[in-house]
Amino acid sequence: MPKNMRRGTVVAVLASLMATTAYAEGTTLWLVRPLYPGQEALVERTEKALDKLMPGDARKEAVIGVKELAASMKGIKNDELPCFTGDSRCVDPIDPFVATLGFDRVVLVQGGQDEVGVKFRVASYEPKTGKTAAATSTNAVLEKALLGAVAKVVPVASTLEVKSAPVGATVFVDDVKVGVTPLTTQVLPGERVVRVDLKLHQPIEESIIIPIRGTATLDKKLEKVAARIVITAAPTGTNISIDGHVLGKDKVDRGILPGTHTIRLVAENHRDYEQQITVKAEEQFVLDKTLEPIPGLAHGVAKDGTLVFDRPAAVAATGVEAIYERKAYFQAAYEFSSILGNSLVGRRWGNNGTGRTTSFAASTPSRMLMGVGAEYGTFGRYFGLTVVGVSYLTNVERLSMNVGFGPGQGRELSAGNPGPTSIDPVRVHLVTIRAIQPQVRFCFWKVMLSIQAGLEFRTGQIQGPADTFYKDGFMPLDLLASARLNARFFAYDGLYFYGSGNFTYLITGQAATDESGASYASRNQWGFNVGVGYAF
Amino acid sequence: MRSERSVLLMAFVLSLSAWAEPLVGPNVGSADTLVSEGSKLFNQKKYAKSSDNFLKATRANPANLATYVQLARAASLAKQLTRACYAYRVYLKNTPDSPERKKAAAESEQCERQLKTTKGQAPDLTQKYVETRAAFFAALEKGELLKAGGAAESLRTLVNDGFLGPELGEMASKLGAAVLAEADGIQKRALAAEKQSSEVLRSARPMYEVAADVGASPPDAKARMAFLDGLAELSEKDYRKAERLFSEARKADPLNKEYAFYEGLTLYQAGEKGKALKLLDVEMKDDPRTAVLRVAQALGNSPETGAAELEKLLFSTRYPAEK
């Protein structure tokens, strides 16, 4: 090797070595060791990678590995050593010793491979100053990991020259715009993706290895195209087809004949996209499209921007699948109800009395109640749960009431006088609360039918006129079993209208006895609701 | 820095006095042992020998005043009246409050009377002591430590003339500190690899010897003297003598690895590189200087072993530990 010959002849004695280093200024010694035991093979690979990354002049100024070091040290005589002259105080002669060997810089590399990739730890040491710096890098690709660490501690800026015909093309390095041709720029060494892009010309994209402290040149003639399309699609892996031919994934940038063409984008778990385009001569068509994800595995086809699904039209056109992905709902209703019988029993509180009961009779047989309600629950395509629902009802028609006894009690007294046995009219305020009621659902198109069942608690107040003897009224306290049949129709997004029919069965509640000894209890109830809700 | 002429003169003077015994301090002997021996001889009525032992005891520990009375009594009975009366005077002067003082004063008066009436006694040197003491302090002030008429010579004259007293200890201490400062400066500069002539390097030995004579010798004085003499020989390229002296220094003070290094350096400069590496590998295996010599030796054997050793050296010393 020429450099070895230079070294061997010039460095006869150390004094001359110190005066005239065998290498030109800037000679770097690269030494490699395995980072982990048993990975000695990586040393050779690393040395080869360094050799590959340092072509030309940079390579001439580098000594890579122990073998090259040995070859470069042939003929060196060490008649005198730093510290062994006794001329001056000296405790660490390593720096001057290495400097006299002609190395401006020593780069110590330790490399190892683990489950993450290839890891390099690189230390740069300058014998003339004793300065050291270390850096670490990991990458799946050996060269990239090596350069990643080296570039942090060794001045390795390299030059990239890009020329094109015609000139004026935009140059991207690793997708970063760096200028227009003709271009000379400084870049970090390593594998770089260089793209040269000029309107109405076929773009060029190449991966090139940029050497350490070297120069890489890319000189390309760009071919003119009649028209050009640039399609960028997401998500990653989207197949791009033009006129039925798959041209690539994610990005297609190519020339195209003027005329009408059909673009189709397909990605798993996303709605397909199709568009017809008309490209004129000397025009460039650009499309940047992100496909819309859909639940499940359904694929749709879009034509001219309008989605047409290959599932049954009624389902696909509304995006109904998305409706049933919702997690909760809230609804409000106008409620109608009727008591199936003539008695609603309440008890008395206060007025020094113990419990009292009453029964009442409607002046009309319907005993119609009306009110409002609200419900919150969890959503699902097949199952759901009423977390909590509340209804308020009051009587529409005039109701009267008979006052009786509680079991084992007499009628309430005031100053020794019993209260009246009849009140007319009375106002009924009923509140029912239901909670944790499971729902079973059946869905088609935008319609959801469901059955729910569970327990309800009913309470409220039955009041007479303001001047009645029983000022605080009577309070029902009933536990009911209820069943509801619901129908929901989703009008827009999560918004729905619904109707519901219900039946409540008295399990237990207040009991009352009149003076004749007849016994009364609250009655069952039925009703229906209409309202609106929102699933979210 | 002294002129070469003065250094040569100093060396000459010191060479003449090199045979002399220690003057003051522990190197004279154990004060307690000397007193014990003197008392034993006194009881055996061997007063002259007893007097000599007590005299040495006062030099071994000039601060112990009781010894002066014992010396006076032994000298008196040995008919050394001049010495006896002088010892009484020294004791009385330095012991104003002691139960023994009255008795000693009476003995002193009797001694003085006897001295006046007895012929053939040694002359009284009190006046000479005064002059020599003044010369000592003047020389010490000027930094004339070892030259003819210098502080060391004055102190030696005083001791040889029989000067007594606690002051002797103070004078010895001052002289010891002065010579040690001088010698240690040479040693320090030598370790810092400052250029010093071989004469200067060799001048340290008599200084350390004087320090030893006055009880101020450092524990590693022997190693220091050998090291500095070795450097003088090395500068004159007498590698054999230098190696022997560095080896002596290394063995005298094994903790100071510089002595071992200079022994290795001497071997290296003498062309015995293998021997040098062997020595340094034993004495200072992990020292960077040894490591560099190891690489150089390997390189001399073959470029391959040299490269391998260099690789080891660089990774072991210039590859920062991972945090």
Instruction: Look over chain B and give the mean of its residue pLDDT values, rounded to a whole number.
Output: 89
Closest Cβ–Cβ partner in B262, B318, B322 for A108: B318
Confidence of residue B57 (pLDDT cuts 50, 70, 90): very high
Burial of A281 (0-12, 13-18, 19+ CB in 10 A): exposed
Position A317 scores a pLDDT of 37
Position A24 scores a pLDDT of 37
Q: Is residue B219 predicted with pLDDT exceeding 80?
A: yes
Other residues' Cβ atoms within 10 Å of the Cβ of residue B306: 24
To the nearest whole Å, the CA of B147 is away from the closest chain A CA by 31
| Range in A298-312, A477-491, B56-70, B108-122 with the lowest mean pLDDT | A298-312
Cα distance between residue A349 and residue A444, in whole Å: 51
Check if B284 contacts A (Cβ < 8 Å): no
To the nearest whole Å, the CA of B222 is away from the closest chain A CA by 22
Q: Is residue B144 predicted with pLDDT exceeding 80?
A: yes
Order of strands, sheet of A245-249, starting from the edge strand that comes earlier in the sequence: A245-249, A239-242, A259-266, A273-279, A300-303, A306-309
| Dihedral class, residue A352 (left if φ above 0, else alpha if ψ from -120 to 50, else beta) | left
Helix (H, G, I), strand (E, B) or coil at B316: helix
Cis amide prior to A235 (ω within 30 degrees): yes
Using an 8 Å CB-CB cutoff, list chain B residues near A69.
Answer: 307, 310-311
Position A55 scores a pLDDT of 64
Dihedral angle, C-alpha A274, A277, A282, A288, nearest 10 °: -40
CATH architecture of residue range(s) B1-118+126-192: Alpha Horseshoe (1.25)
Higher confidence at residue B151 or residue A8?
B151
Using an 8 Å CB-CB cutoff, list chain B residues near A121.
Answer: 322
Position A413 scores a pLDDT of 63
Terminal CA-to-CA distance of chain A, rounded, Å? Answer: 77
Predicted confidence (pLDDT) per residue in B82-102, tens digit: 999 999 999 999 988 888 888
Closest Cβ–Cβ partner in A69, A78, A125 for B296: A78
Position A512 scores a pLDDT of 75
To the nearest whole Å, the CA of A118 is away from the closest chain B CA by 17
- ipTM summary value: 0.72
Position A355 scores a pLDDT of 54
Check if B102 contacts A (Cβ < 8 Å): no
- Return the domain boundaries, chain B: 1-118+126-192
Q: Residue B296: name the closest of A33, A124, A73 by CA.
A: A73
Position A16 scores a pLDDT of 29
**Answer CATH for A321-535 from 3.40.1350.10, 1.10.10.10, 2.40.160.20, 2.40.50.140:** 2.40.160.20
A434-464 b/e (C-beta count within 10 Å ≥ 16 → b): bbebebebebeebebebebbbebebebbbbb
Predicted confidence (pLDDT) per residue in B169-183, tens digit: 999 999 999 999 999
Residue B14 sits at the vertex; the CA angle it makes with B12 and B16, to the nearest 5 degrees, is 75
Q: Which CATH superfamily is domain A227-310 in?
A: Carboxypeptidase-like, regulatory domain (2.60.40.1120)
Tell me, yes or no, if the pTM score tops 0.90: no
Scan residues 117-176 of A and list those with Cβ closer than 8 Å to B: 121, 123, 125, 132, 134, 136
Helix (H, G, I), strand (E, B) or coil at B283: helix
Secondary structure letter of residue A90 according to DSSP: -
Position A416 scores a pLDDT of 64
Average pLDDT over residues B236-249: 95
Check if A79 contacts B (Cβ < 8 Å): no
Q: Going by CATH, does the domain composed of A158-221 fall within 2.60.40.4070? A: no
Position A374 scores a pLDDT of 96
| Contact by Cβ (8 Å): A73, B303 | yes
Question: Which regions of chain A carry the CATH code 2.60.40.1120?
Answer: 158-221, 227-310
Low-confidence ranges of chain A (pLDDT < 50): 1-25, 297-318, 352-354
Tokens of B280: 């340094």
Confidence of residue B279 (pLDDT cuts 50, 70, 90): very high
Cα distance between residue B108 and residue B72, in whole Å: 9
DSSP string, B166-223: HHHHHHHHHHHHHHHHHHHHHHHHHHTT----HHHHHHHHHHHHHHHHTT---TTHHH
CB contact under 8 A, A69 and B307: yes
CB contact under 8 A, A89 and B192: yes
Question: Which regions of chain A carry the CATH code 2.40.160.20?
Answer: 321-535
Cα distance between residue A349 and residue A351, in whole Å: 7
Cα distance between residue A416 and residue A354, in whole Å: 15
| Contact by Cβ (8 Å): A405, A357 | yes
